[in-house]
């Protein structure tokens, strides 16, 4: 039987998009997810879902043996920046310690291929944009630090044990599967595009714009928003690179252009024809004014060609997903 890739956190937002992309490409997978924030329905029917914790060595041994795992994609983890400031140790446990357990299992079973979900948060508040992969890493919150520590473990385990890795540093991931199979369903939304969609649909009173006095053209922060389906494709390419025997890589995932908070709101209003209720508020602690990726390396090294590089498409898919969740909830409440 052909080997399977173990996807941790496959019931979550990005992991579930990757499982669908793998299934579309005919690549067999198995996922471990504790369903703490993920949803069972997000996992494609063809993929076995093992409910449990990535921090359990015994569970990892069992799944790796039973499914003939030859490669790992590691998504499971915590991702809310302000929460990481309040509960740093939980972040080091869920992100760094769990990754250590997973790397240990890879070495124990002779698995030499791992794709890792890292983040632009490892760059902290960069001095220059666009940010390339050689820019200094200097995280400004425990979330970014917990991911950077895993990057360091991967580098060292690569040198000592031949574990090859592709580290993907995500910029601002948004949007949803164009076919509507999955999307962002985390109970507590903090990310701009999801929050703006919820405000537009009346699920919250208003979007609060965090800061209008930044040194940017319209005074609001600029981010490099990338469609989750393009990000999923990058993961499939990273896996194929490693399976071909390719070397370890660190790659930014972004389009190389930024949009401000106001531009995001305007785009959502133009695709929906409705107004986003918004209030102008103070800055949120720890937000750098601009985060824009230098986008050349991933195209060169993986041959990645984005298919959804448009803010309109990102917000349109995010909004239809949010509407779908709304209907689901209405269906449940009505039942
Ligand atoms: N924003 C608002 N109102 C909101 C939410 C966000 O104005 O209700 C603004 C933020 O201030 C920021 C921009 O929208 O300027 C984007 O904020 P998000 O919370 O959507 O995303 P971040 O840029 O803060 O976070 C992203 C990733 C993190 C990563 C971080 C690195 O989601 O995983 O970049 O700085 F750590």
**In the predicted model, is pLDDT for residue 335 greater than 70?**
no
> Residue 209: which pLDDT band, with cuts at 50, 70 and 90?
very high
pLDDT at res. 170: 98
Which residue ranges form the domains of the chain, and what is each CATH number?
4-175+225-253 (3.40.50.720), 192-223+256-334 (3.90.25.10)
d(CA 335, CA 155): 52
User: Three-class SS of residue 137?
Assistant: coil
Q: How far is CA 42 from CA 9, 70, 119, 218, in A?
A: 11, 23, 23, 37
Give per-residue burial for 111-150: e unless 16+ CB within 10 Å, then b. Answer: bbbbbbbbbbbbbbebeebbbebebebebbbbbbbbbbbb
pLDDT at res. 334: 77
Q: Which residues are catalytic?
A: 143
| Ligand 1 centroid – CA 88 distance (Å) | 19
186, 223, 263, 290: residue to mutate for ligand 1 pocket, most atoms within 8 A of CB? 223
Predicted interface score ipTM higher than 0.85:
yes
pLDDT tens digits along 118-128: 999 999 999 89
Residue 239 CB neighbours (<10 A) = 26
Ligand 1 interacting residues, C-beta cut-off 6 A: 79, 81, 119-121, 143-144, 172, 190-192, 195, 207-210, 221, 223, 261, 284, 287, 291
Give per-residue burial for 220-230: e unless 16+ CB within 10 Å, then b. Answer: bbbbbbbbbbb
| Ligand 1 centroid – CA 90 distance (Å) | 21
d(CA 233, CA 175): 14
**In the predicted model, is pLDDT for residue 77 greater than 70?**
yes
d(CA 270, CA 230): 23
**In the predicted model, is pLDDT for residue 242 greater than 60?**
yes
| Ligand 1 centroid – CA 191 distance (Å) | 6
d(CA 261, CA 35): 31
d(CA 177, CA 316): 11
86 in Cβ contact with 94 (< 8 Å) = no
d(CA 231, CA 17): 9
214 in Cβ contact with 266 (< 8 Å) = no
Q: Whose CA is nearest to atom 30 of ligand 1?
A: 121
Q: Whose CA is nearest to atom 21 of ligand 1?
A: 191
∠ at Cα 77 (75, 78), nearest 5°? 135
Q: Give the atom of ligand 1 at the shortest distance from the alpha carbon of 281.
A: 7
Q: Whose CA is nearest to atom 18 of ligand 1?
A: 191
Taking the alpha carbons at both ends of the chain, their separation in whole angstroms is 43
* 292 contacts: CB under 8 Å, gap ≥ 6: 129, 130, 131, 171, 222, 223, 224, 254, 256, 257, 258
pLDDT at res. 164: 98
pLDDT tens digits along 133-149: 999 999 999 999 999 99
Residue 237 CB neighbours (<10 A) = 20
d(CA 82, CA 130): 24
**In the predicted model, is pLDDT for residue 166 greater than 90?**
yes
Q: How far is CA 71 from CA 22, 60, 192, 330, in A?
A: 13, 13, 33, 40
| Ligand 1 centroid – CA 2 distance (Å) | 40
Q: Where are the alpha helices (DSSP H) in the chain?
A: 13-24, 57-67, 81-86, 88-91, 98-108, 142-161, 192-200, 228-243, 261-272, 296-302, 311-334
pLDDT at res. 190: 92
Average pLDDT over all residues of the chain: 96
């Amino acid at each position: 039987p052909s080997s399977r890739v173990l996807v941790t956190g496959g019931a979550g937002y990005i992991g579930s998009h990757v499982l669908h992309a793998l299934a579309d490409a005919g690549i067999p997978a198995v996922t471990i997810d504790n369903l703490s924030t993920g949803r069972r329905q997000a996992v494609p029917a063809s993929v076995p879902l093992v409910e449990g914790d990535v921090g359990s060595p015994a569970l990892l041994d069992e799944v790796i043996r039973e499914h003939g795992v030859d490669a790992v994609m590691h998504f499971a983890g915590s991702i809310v920046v302000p929460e990481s400031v309040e509960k740093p140790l939980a972040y080091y446990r869920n992100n760094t310690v769990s990754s250590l357990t997973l790397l240990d299992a890879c070495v124990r079973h002779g698995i030499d291929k791992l794709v890792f979900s890292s983040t632009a948060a490892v760059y902290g508040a960069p001095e220059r944009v666009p940010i390339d992969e050689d820019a200094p890493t200097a995280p400004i919150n425990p979330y970014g630090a917990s991911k950077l520590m895993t990057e360091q473990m991967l580098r060292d385990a690569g040198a000592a044990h031949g574990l090859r890795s592709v580290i993907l540093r995500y910029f601002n991931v948004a949007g949803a599967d164009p076919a509507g199979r999955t999307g962002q369903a985390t109970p507590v939304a903090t990310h701009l595009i999801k929050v703006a969609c919820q405000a537009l649909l009346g699920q919250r009173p208003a979007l609060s714009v965090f800061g209008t006095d930044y040194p940017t053209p319209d005074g609001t922060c600029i981010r490099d928003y990338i469609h989750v389906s393009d990000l999923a494709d990058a993961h499939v390419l990273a896996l194929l690179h490693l399976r071909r025997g390719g070397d370890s890589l660190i790659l930014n995932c972004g389009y190389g252009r930024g949009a401000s908070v106001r531009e995001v709101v305007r785009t959502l209003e133009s695709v929906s024809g409705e107004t986003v209720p918004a209030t102008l508020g103070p800055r949120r602690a720890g937000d750098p004014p601009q985060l824009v990726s230098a986008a050349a390396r991933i195209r060169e090294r993986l041959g990645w060609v984005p298919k959804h590089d448009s803010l309109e498409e990102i917000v349109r898919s995010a909004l239809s997903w949010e509407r779908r969740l709304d209907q689901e909830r209405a269906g449940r409440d009505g039942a």
